[in-house]
Structure 1
Amino acid sequence: MSQAPDRSPLQAVKGMNDILPPDSARWEWFEDCARRVMQRYRYAAIRTPIVEPTALFVRGIGEVTDIVEKEMYSFEDSMNGDRLTLRPEGTAGVVRAAVEHSLLYDGGKRLYYLGAMFRHERPQKGRYRQFHQVGVEALGFAGPDVDAEVILMCRMLWRELGLVEGRDLWLELNSLGQPAERQLHRAALIEHFERHADLLDADAKRRLHSNPLRILDSKNAAMQPVIEAAPKLADCLGAESLAHFDAVRSMLDAAGLPYRVNPRLVRGLDYYNHTVFEWVSDRFGAPLTVGGGGRYDGLVEQLGGKPAPGVGWGLGVERLLLLLEVAGVVVPPPVPDAYAVLPDAAALPQALPVLEALRALGVSVQMHAAGRDGQGSMKSQFKKADASGARYALVFGADELAQGMVAVKPLRTEGQPVPQELRPIVEAGVWGGELLRS
């Protein structure tokens, strides 16, 4: 006897969320803002696969980082046994694509991406297992001018979104120098923390010899005194690294962008060198990183390409949208230009061609849809037209249709002429701003 099919409701995977209307409109608005900023700086879009070889992130991010050790969604391809991973961040995939397709053969490239990332961590507000990032990668540019450019691009995005740097969030800046300088600092850190091993937690002890720099990023309050007393990387930097950092700072100063130099800022990925930065907000009650990035001059070569410099950043979309909410930024809801009111289904043969002609001209028109009981009263339709936010109702009444015309009724601007935004309606034949010939 066969079992009855299971028809119990299914739910999304924990920490991987549906984005539903009207919230999806906020996402589209944000993405439009981001794309406008990218275009102003002449960054081109790149789209990379969600699934990449696991080795890409082990080599690129670092084998002893939290992401690789604890957070990646990795699995074996059942067809060929390949080890694959859902991408946990965007930079490694972009660099892999640049190497694979020789994007830098004719010079540097400015790129940006928007997309979903995946990390297996405890879900909390603004931090999910499937999350979304917008990021930029400037590949092939070694100068501090491009470091400053990508940082200033963030400021442009904040202003486009309605956030205010200094009030809603601020910039923290540091230099990690070059690999040899980091090795000197690494040795000094190991020596320091070995002398205070009894004060380290289990995580710090595990990292002491594999990645001591990450100990500086610990949030363990009991360890803060020993961390504060640790040797500073700035004391190990040579003239070239200091000159690069000073040049970045002078450009930000010239652009009027304030920042805080944070000597403990290390970021969570192994590929960074020279400039690193984070945008931090205390609008959540405690300082929280909204996004950040830095320079990664060795990553292209590390992933199999010819040596080439790189610098970029990534921002978490969910956390940024949450910041907009707590900062009181009002995202304008999408509204139609006009709402079509139809007395009955008999009007559809005449109404539909008019609506399609208007839509082809770029006018956003929402048509009242019939329910089980028909079109509904004109009064109820006008209520829905008003609730839609439309500025105009297109009324396909019996008298208008008998004359081959449509009444244009202002819903928001009674007695005012048809505005510039509805110029296509004017061009389509509005008579005196009140009638549209069908």
Structure 2
Amino acid sequence: MSKKEKTIQAPKGMQDILPEDQKYWRYVLKKAENLLEFYGFEKIETPVLESTDLFFRAVGESTDIVQKEMYTLRTKGGDSLTLRPEGTAAVMRAYLENGMNVKPHPVKLYYVSPMFRHDQPQKGRYRQFFQLGVETVGDSSEAVDAELIFLAYKFIESLGLKNYNVHINSIGDQSCRPAYLKTLKDYYKNRLKKSCANCKVRFKENILRLLDCKEEACKELSKETPQFVDFLDEECHAHFKHVLEFLDEAKVPYILNPHLVRGLDYYTRTVFEILPEENIGAQSTLVAGGRYDKLIELLGGSKTPSSGWASGIERIILELKEKNISVPEIKAKPKVFLVQLGEAAKRKSILLFESFRKAGVDTKSSLGRDSIKSQLRIANRLEVKFALIFGQKEALDDTIILREMDTGIQETIPLEKIVDEVKKRLKS
């Protein structure tokens, strides 16, 4: 006796998006599309696979993403390719490769794409996840940073989510950051034994990551660290000050967070996250981003300042569900149910159903069922106004029975007139 085959399941950390959840996806993506396109952003799509070197150069060899989380493969031709773990590097590569540098600037782009990270799955965090990303390329002004933060805040607000704050910091640039990093190393040098194992490694490779470690002991250590804002040079300080003034004017609530850094090496100056007031935890960030003025140079382009943000769609949908935000259904309720009996009626029903679609009348049917009772039960459950009963006799006579579901009154109508008759009655 052969063993029963093991049931195949989705890979760990990856999920199916079921029909009952589609309304949430449609709701979130429509809100994003309407907002961003009003502000002049254009949609872009990039390949799901990119050269591995792109992420080594852009994201940084010492980051957790590159060291631990990338899905990388080697092709038969010997190329090393990686399922993209984030979207910004890919969009900047596309900007350079497709000659967008000759377009009027700033170039404003957005995308909604799947990303992949071999991370430990937990609530709100998956190994395949969809990211909404927004990029403004070719403008170094404080107004761009402020506009992007404003848009991120308004996006969250438009979904019906309330009581969120922007957490914001400046991490300077190559002119003033080295002095801060030296002071930060001095601070941690004699305290490192109290930090977690990961932070001991980060101390050597990417010391900024110590500031946002979520381990309790490390969070306690970071409370007394020197603050970035005290080390900003004149230009970085003025830039940050003006961003905050723009946010004040736009009435965007923000909190100065001196420990906020981003986990990717390409960030400069402004960094921000949007978090709920009541839950400041590892998985509570809904939007994160900042400025990355050197990224395009790292990829071989000329100096091109850029700024942007990204948001995980699954995490937003989780928040909508937890906050019991009402989301509209995807489709309007059907008005008509087509009951068909016998082979001739079923064959003709396919074109009849298409006639109602072209006329814009929401219609349902169940072609595989033969029982009139079971089909009328479905019509009742759907709360349609009319049932159209199409049997063998009606198929031969080119007629159809129109039944009012509320009263049970039935009338035989010529088949060629049924669409117009239904439309007329639905209007009355």
TM bracket, shorter-chain basis? 0.7 to 0.9
Kept in 2: contact 1:408–1:435 (CA 8 A): no
- Computed over aligned residues only, the root mean square deviation of the Cα atoms, in angstroms, reads 3.0
Residues in 1 aligned to 2:385 and 2:263: alpha-carbon distance in whole angstroms: 52
Kept in 1: contact 2:119–2:126 (CA 8 A): yes
Residues in 2 aligned to 1:14 and 1:434: alpha-carbon distance in whole angstroms: 49
Residues in 1 aligned to 2:17 and 2:201: alpha-carbon distance in whole angstroms: 39
Kept in 2: contact 1:190–1:209 (CA 8 A): no
Q: With structure 1 as the length reference, what TM-score do the two structures score?
A: 0.85
Shift of 1:405: 6.4
Shift of 1:96: 0.7
Shift of 1:408: 7.5
**2:40 partner amino acid:** R
Residues 256 and 11 of structure 1, relative CA distance in 2, 3 Å threshold: same
> SS at 1:179's partner residue?
coil
| 1:403-431 CA distance string (max 9 Å, x none) | 956648577xxxxxxxxxxxxx9995557
Kept in 2: contact 1:407–1:434 (CA 8 A): no
Shift of 1:125: 2.0
Kept in 1: contact 2:184–2:225 (CA 8 A): yes
Residues in 1 aligned to 2:418 and 2:170: alpha-carbon distance in whole angstroms: 58
Identity rate, percent: 36
2:86 pairs with 86, 89, 96, which one? Answer: 89
| 1:162-217 CA distance string (max 9 Å, x none) | 212x2xx3211111122221111111111111132333333222222321111111
> SS at 1:126's partner residue?
coil
| 1:137-177 CA distance string (max 9 Å, x none) | 1111211222122222223322332212x2xx321111112
Moved more, 28-37 or 47-56: 28-37
Moved more, 49-58 or 390-399: 390-399
Task: State whether structure 2 residue 428 is matched by structure 1 residue 433.
Answer: no
| 1:341-369 CA distance string (max 9 Å, x none) | 31523544654444312312444322232
2:305 pairs with 305, 309, 317, which one? Answer: 309
**Corresponding residue for 2:381?**
387
Residues in 2 aligned to 1:257 and 1:220: alpha-carbon distance in whole angstroms: 30
Shift of 1:10: 2.1
Moved more, 275-284 or 213-222: 275-284
| 1:366-389 CA distance string (max 9 Å, x none) | 223233xx1x234x434323434x
**Corresponding residue for 1:130?**
128
Task: State whether structure 2 residue 323 is matched by structure 1 residue 331.
Answer: no
Q: What is the 5 A alignment of 1:343-362?
A: 343-345=340-342, 346-348=344-346, 351-362=349-360
Shift of 1:325: 0.4
Residues 365 and 39 of structure 1, relative CA distance in 2, 3 Å threshold: farther
> SS at 1:42's partner residue?
coil
**Corresponding residue for 2:137?**
139
Kept in 1: contact 2:51–2:80 (CA 8 A): yes
Residues in 2 aligned to 1:431 and 1:214: alpha-carbon distance in whole angstroms: 63
| 1:55-105 CA distance string (max 9 Å, x none) | 11111011111111111111222x221221111011110001101111121
Kept in 1: contact 2:339–2:372 (CA 8 A): no
**1:247 partner amino acid:** H
> SS at 1:433's partner residue?
helix
1:256 pairs with 251, 254, 259, which one? Answer: 251
**Corresponding residue for 1:15?**
13
Kept in 2: contact 1:409–1:434 (CA 8 A): no
Kept in 1: contact 2:340–2:367 (CA 8 A): no
Runs of 5+ in structure 2 lacking a partner?
407-416
> SS at 2:188's partner residue?
helix
1:170 pairs with 158, 161, 165, which one? Answer: 165
| 1:7-51 CA distance string (max 9 Å, x none) | 653222111222222223432332222222222222111111111
Q: What is the 5 A alignment of 1:30-429?
A: 30-77=28-75, 79-107=76-104, 108-164=106-162, 166=163, 169-281=164-276, 286=281, 288-335=284-331, 336-345=333-342, 346-348=344-346, 351-371=349-369, 374=370, 376-378=371-373, 380-388=374-382, 392-396=385-389, 404=399, 407=402, 409=404, 428=420
Kept in 1: contact 2:72–2:82 (CA 8 A): yes
Shift of 1:328: 0.7
**Corresponding residue for 1:418?**
none
Kept in 1: contact 2:133–2:309 (CA 8 A): yes
Moved more, 274-283 or 79-88: 274-283
Residues 338 and 95 of structure 1, relative CA distance in 2, 3 Å threshold: same
Give the count of matched residue pairs. 412
Residues 277 and 110 of structure 1, relative CA distance in 2, 3 Å threshold: same
Kept in 1: contact 2:58–2:295 (CA 8 A): yes
Kept in 1: contact 2:85–2:115 (CA 8 A): yes
Residues 269 and 343 of structure 1, relative CA distance in 2, 3 Å threshold: same
**1:200 partner amino acid:** S
Q: With structure 2 as the length reference, what TM-score do the two structures score?
A: 0.87
**1:106 partner amino acid:** K
Residues in 1 aligned to 2:101 and 2:94: alpha-carbon distance in whole angstroms: 11
